Amino acid sequence: MKAAILDLLKRTDAPLSGQAISARLGISRVAVWKHICRMREAGLDIQSGPKGYRLVSLADTPLPWIFGGRSARVHHYPELRSTMDKAQELARSGCPDFSVVVTDQQTLGRGRLQRNWQSQSGGLYFTMILRPRLAPSEGPLINLAAALDMAATLRDTFGIEARVKWPNDVLAGEGKIAGILSQMAAEADRVHYICLGIGVNINNSTTGITPPAVSVAELIGRAGSRAVVLSGFWDRFEHRMKTLSPSAVVAEWKAGAITLGRQVKVQILNETIEGQAVDMDDQGGLIVVLPDGTRRTVVYGDCFHVAKDT
Ligand code: BTN
């Protein structure tokens, strides 16, 4: 019921009377009031006045009912080893497209290239399970799209100048603010599911993280809401996936990324190459020109921007 009330409040900027809510949901006005009290206790800022209730801001903790009509697809845990493991279990057991596993902290958070992802409380850690109709070769485009949408969410929500770095890091200045790890289950010509794991530094400490990281709270000087970030990202990303255009993702990435034109060091599984990042191919691979003029296309790896004279 809380999810249904929240959905109604989210749909309007004008106050909504207790009478209107009770009529829409078929519950008494007293029941409406009790649910509103519990929602406030959970941290939602809901103002009440003579004309009714108005939602001012969401809470921080991404509890399922905060996501209104999406609540049945949200699996929130106070602590997990990694949201990736739980998401794999759910994906294998047939959960719907756009299910989300979210936790307040991870004890064994994973990053790309077998690194760990520091996951203390305060950060946003989630994995979204996707069932896109795509060829496996198009999988990397999903990560690029997710990075673009997370950067846009951070810009719109907090005014942070977030930009993307190949392959799918989100940076604010030179500090990493969000990272993406995805795992795909596929046959030769068809993706079964993708577990898209995203970690965002919101109110967690970033001390000692290398390469340098930065959080929303450090940038804006106050706490940010994890629920608002997840909800904003979800709106954008679900809409994008419904109308996915690989060429549009690549064009948007090229226009907004900070990697192109930069001198880069790219760590691939068994090798590190250095050169100038000059372009992206149609499937999201980074094209790097090496010092001897050879062009290499890198499809998987980690990229560091280096100063031109080093
Ligand atoms: C990276 O930049 O190396 C990717 C980091 C991905 C971290 C997220 S946090 C949620 C999900 N669960 C994990 O264990 N990892 C991803």
How far is CA 132 from each of CA 102, 186, 243, rounded to the nearest angstrom? 20, 11, 11
How far is CA 166 from each of CA 94, 215, 252, 279, 295, rounded to the nearest angstrom? 32, 20, 13, 11, 17
Superfamily (CATH H level) for 64-256: Bira Bifunctional Protein; Domain 2 (3.30.930.10)
pLDDT tens sequence across 144-181: 999 999 999 999 999 999 999 998 899 999 899 999 99
Picking from 126, 127, 122, 170, the residue whose alpha carbon sits closest to that of residue 149 is 170
Say if residue 62 is preceded by a cis peptide, omega within 30 of 0: no
177 alpha carbon to ligand 1 midpoint, in Å?
Answer: 12
DSSP-assigned beta bridge partners for residue 132:
none
User: Looking at the predicted structure, is the pLDDT value of residue 309 above 80?
Assistant: no
pLDDT for res 270: 84
Q: Where are the domains of the chain?
A: 2-57, 64-256, 263-305
CB atoms within 10 A of CB 42: 15
The pTM assigned to this predicted structure is 0.89
Write out residues with Cβ below 6 Å of ligand 1. Answer: 82-84, 106, 109-112, 115, 117, 125-127, 169, 179-181, 197-199
**What class is the 2-57 domain?**
mainly alpha
> DSSP secondary structure string, 218-275?
HHHSS---HHHHHHHHHHHHHHHHHT--HHHHHHHHHHHBS-TTSEEEEEETTEEEEE
- 27-31, 67-71, 143-147, 198-202: least confidently modelled range: 67-71
Amino acid at 173: G
To test ligand 1's pocket by mutation, which of 118, 198, 229 has the most ligand atoms within 8 angstroms of CB? Answer: 198
Token pair recorded at residue 238: 């679900």
CA–CA distance, 251 with 30 (Å, rounded to integer)? 53
User: Looking at the predicted structure, is the pLDDT value of residue 64 above 70?
Assistant: yes
pLDDT for res 58: 83
CATH 3.40.50.720 fits 263-305, yes or no: no
CA–CA distance, 156 with 134 (Å, rounded to integer)? 29
Starting at the earlier edge strand, list the strands of the sheet with 302-306: 295-298, 286-289, 271-280, 263-268, 302-306
pLDDT tens sequence across 271-283: 999 999 999 999 8
**How would you class 18 by CB atoms within 10 Å of its CB: exposed for 0-12, middle for 13-18, buried for 19 or more?**
middle
* Segment 25-44 mean pLDDT: 92
